[in-house]
């Protein structure tokens, strides 16, 4: 199986792990702060935010352009995360969860539209896909499961 195909399959599997970790959490539980200043709600929002940022990056890569627009840097992850969360602070839980699923679907589709050579080790597309994909999902799914095992429902 080619690298791209493996990466896409892994992202879908890890996304399902994230969905399972979130399953059954209501508005109150999702809004409970337990990870610094965040709860599961903010985790979901920021994952969708990264998806939305990476989708056009894949398009630029496909056009043989740099992944980021000139003058844009994602080096300050905390500032971007805060921006994503603030923009959706008042969104309804159902809308946030719907966006998570739609943004994952679109994120994977945008990456899958690239040719196999874009997924060579250390390539920009692969690094972006892994950065906002499977490892990112698994990191947060593990945090959510650990929190829930501590008594959250």
Alpha helices in 23-115 (DSSP H): 27-31, 40-62, 77-87, 93-112
> What tokens were used for 45?
């929002």
Where residue 135 sits, what CATH number does that domain have? 1.20.120.450
- Asked if the model's pLDDT at residue 152 lies above 80, the reply is no
Angle (nearest 5°) at CA 88 between 133 and 57: 40
Q: What share of the chain is helix, strand, coil (3-state, %, to 5)?
A: 70, 0, 30
Confidence grade of residue 150 (pLDDT, cut at 50, 70, 90): confident
What are the pLDDT digits (tens) for 33-89? Answer: 999 999 999 999 999 999 999 999 999 999 999 999 889 888 898 999 999 999 999
State residue 151's pLDDT score.
Answer: 65
Candidates 1, 12, 2; CA nearest to 138 is 12
Span 20-26, average pLDDT: 97
Domain holding 11, by residue range, is: 3-149
Candidates 122, 126, 107; CA nearest to 6 is 126
* Alpha carbon distance 126, 101 (integer Å): 21
How many domains does the chain divide into?
1
Does pTM top 0.85 for this prediction? yes
- Asked if the model's pLDDT at residue 1 lies above 70, the reply is no
State residue 153's pLDDT score.
Answer: 52
Contact (Cβ atoms closer than 8 angstroms) between residue 8 and residue 113: no
State residue 41's pLDDT score.
Answer: 97
What single-letter DSSP state applies at residue 118? G
Share of the chain above pLDDT 90, in %: 90
- Asked if the model's pLDDT at residue 93 lies above 90, the reply is yes
What are the pLDDT digits (tens) for 2-15? Answer: 689 999 999 999 99
């Amino acid at each position: 199986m080619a690298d791209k195909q493996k990466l896409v399959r892994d992202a879908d599997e890890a996304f399902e792990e994230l969905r399972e970790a979130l399953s059954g959490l209501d508005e109150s539980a999702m809004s409970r702060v337990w990870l610094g200043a965040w709860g599961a709600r903010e985790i979901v929002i920021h994952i969708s935010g990264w998806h939305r940022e990476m989708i056009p990056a894949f398009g630029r890569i496909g056009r043989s352009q740099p992944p980021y627009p000139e003058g844009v840097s994602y080096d300050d992850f905390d500032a971007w995360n805060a921006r994503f969360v603030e923009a959706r602070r008042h969104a309804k839980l159902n809308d946030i969860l719907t966006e998570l699923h739609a943004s994952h679907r679109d994120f994977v589709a945008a990456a899958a539209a690239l040719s196999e050579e874009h997924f060579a080790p250390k390539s920009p597309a692969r690094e972006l896909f892994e950065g906002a994909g499977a490892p990112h999902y698994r990191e947060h799914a593990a945090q959510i499961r650990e929190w829930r095992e501590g008594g959250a429902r």
